[in-house]
Amino acid sequence: MEPRIASIMLWTFLLVSMATSLVIASDSGDEGCVNKSAPGGLFWSSAKEEGDQELVDAASLNSHNNDEIDGGFSSLDGMLQWAIGHSDPAKLKETAQDLKQLSLDELKRRQIEIKEITDSLKMPSDAQLMKTAINDLNNSSTPLEDRLRALEELLILVEPLDNANDMNKLGGLTVVIHELDSPDPEIRKTSAWILGKASQNNPFVQEQVLELGALAKLMKMVKSTFPEEATKALYAVSALIRNSKAGQELFYAEDGDLMLLDLLSNSSIDIRLRRKSVFLVGDLANCQLEPTSKADSPLFGNHLILKSVVNQLDSSDLDLQEKALVAIKSLLQLRTVEARVKEFCGLERALERMKQKWQEGYTDQRDYVMEMESLRRDVELLFHGKLEEV
Ligand SMILES: *[C@@H]1O[C@H](CO)[C@@H](O)[C@H](O)[C@H]1NC(C)=O
Ligand SMILES: *[C@@H]1O[C@H](CO)[C@@H](O)[C@H](O)[C@H]1NC(C)=O
Ligand SMILES: *[C@@H]1O[C@H](CO)[C@@H](O)[C@H](O)[C@H]1NC(C)=O
Ligand SMILES: *[C@@H]1O[C@H](CO)[C@@H](O)[C@H](O)[C@H]1NC(C)=O
């Protein structure tokens, strides 16, 4: 078995053991349930020993306990992500149940065993795991299958903020961006996904990825004929430009408005892509509403875009309808749009049709439709208000 996978499986077991032991320990009273000076007290006694609070701290898997833990294991949190990502929930539950049956003596013995195993294995830190994956990607002789695995590992590893922030320093962003040119769609998809995940709500990584020139590549990938690839690429594009002035400027320079128009006006486009596109339009409109934003973006001067968003109201997909309503609500408040509110002429009728449709159908989604109706009313009122202003 792959050593990395083997250690992940071990960690899964260790984490379950720890959690279960701690539950048992705290069940059985305040004192002496775990001998804190025993050699097996690795996870329980690593912090300064001052009673049960330490037990709780250790149990919460806080990553600031890092330094005390042997083997350079820098982020339990990251490891937990791994463990969860690579384990069978039914088995985990079973293990936890088995452990509950253990007596305290047995648990102590188990602790000692665990300590011995971790000592002998020298568990890698997240940074080490990332380096290994990055090395594999940077090696032109690494076969496709191993590349994909390295990317899947990175996808999990970049989830914690600290790891995402380390990616560039380790050369990770460059190698992942390089994989966007892979002939294999699965590899391209996973690479886009990693970039999106690492940049989401993270201005630091956002800027690094933009500087490395990934946005244009990702925007081309949005046109992929593989819906999975296109969807993840659009996810990454949104993550890169969200709340980023530099990102949005680049996006428009690369004709992002036309990209969105293509996606919104083609009825054979995958529904997930359309949902994401409408959401992005709304998000960009929201950015424009910020008092700090300057020039109006080309997106909102284009009445075809407005029209295509309104058209989404006729979709049979409630999620898409909702995203379109939210986007229209933001759009209606833009200065550029206000001035041309009459061109929103399809809106009135589309809102009416929507109401009709909801009254007749969607019986199994009543609650959702009720909430949507209040959103629909908001949009209608807002629209009428704007019409009167003109
Ligand atoms: C705890 O373990 C240490 C070292 O193994 C031992 O000397 C001590 O007697 C134990 N204390 C209790 C309360 O079991
Ligand atoms: C690249 O990969 C090949 C095949 O897996 C391996 O033999 C070689 O040592 C690797 N090179 C580096 C620099 O890691
Ligand atoms: C990738 O490999 C080259 C040598 O082939 C090396 O110069 C470079 O530093 C490596 N990059 C990373 C991120 O490991
Ligand atoms: C619409 O999307 C489909 C599927 O992605 C694509 O094959 C087709 O070329 C698109 N049509 C236009 C007019 O762009």
Cα 49 from Cα 63, distance rounded (Å): 17
Name 356's Cβ contacts closer than 8 Å, sequence gap at least 6. Answer: none
142 in contact with ligand 2, CB cutoff 6 A: yes
Looking at residue 83, its pLDDT comes to 60
Q: Which ligand is nearest to the CA of 264?
A: 4
Instruction: Provide the whole-model pTM.
Output: 0.69
Q: How far is the CA of 138 from the centre of ligand 3 (A)?
A: 6
User: Each residue of 69-122: pLDDT tens digit?
Assistant: 333 334 455 555 556 555 666 766 676 666 667 777 887 887 787 777 767 766
3-state secondary structure of 2: coil
Ligand 1 atom 2 nearest Cα: 38
Residue 104 near ligand 1, beta carbon < 6 Å: no
Non-local CB neighbours of 17 within 8 Å, separated by 6+ positions? 95, 99, 110, 114
Q: What is the mean pLDDT of residues 233-262?
A: 93
267 CA: nearest ligand 4 atom: 1
Most confident among 39-53, 87-101, 233-247 (mean pLDDT): 233-247
CA–centroid distance, residue 175 to ligand 3 (Å): 9
- Reported residue count of the chain is 390
CB 229 within 8 A of CB 192: yes
Range among 14-18, 20-24, 52-56, 275-279 with highest mean pLDDT value:
275-279
* Run of H or E including 320: helix 318-331
Q: Report pLDDT for 4.
A: 55
Distances (CA, A) of 246 to 118, 206, 213, 243, 382: 46, 10, 12, 9, 31
Structure-token pair, residue 201: 């709500």
- Residue-wise pLDDT tens digits, 137-165: 999 999 999 999 999 999 999 999 999 99
pLDDT digits 0-9 by tens, 364-377: 777 888 888 899 99
Closest residue by CA, ligand 1 atom 13:
35
Instruction: Indicate which atom in ligand 4 lies nearest the CA of residue 262.
Output: 14
Nearest to 161 by CA among 130, 205, 193, 192: 205
Percent of the chain with pLDDT strictly greater than 90:
42
Report whether pLDDT(326) > 90.
Answer: yes
Q: Is the CB of 265 under 6 A from ligand 2?
A: no
Please determine, for residue 180, whether its predicted confidence score (pLDDT) is greater than 90: yes
C-beta atoms surrounding 39 within 10 Å: 12
Atom of ligand 1 nearest to the CA of 32: 13
**pLDDT of 328 above 80:** yes
Residue 214 CA to residue 226 CA, distance in Å, equals: 19
Q: What average pLDDT score do residues 276-280 get?
A: 94
Query: Nearest C-alpha to atom 6 of ligand 1 is from which residue?
Result: 38
Mean pLDDT, rounded, of the chain: 77
171 lines ligand 3 (CB under 6 A): yes
Q: Is the dihedral of CA 175, 195, 212, 164 positive or negative?
A: negative
Distance 269 CA to ligand 4 centre (A): 7
Comparing 52-66, 90-104, 375-389, which segment has the lowest mean pLDDT? 52-66
Q: What is the mean pLDDT of residues 293-304?
A: 71
Residue nearest to atom 11 of ligand 2 (CA): 139
**Closest ligand 2 atom to Cα of 146:** 5
Neighbours of 98 (CB within 10 A): 12
Predicted local distance difference test score (pLDDT) of residue 84: 57
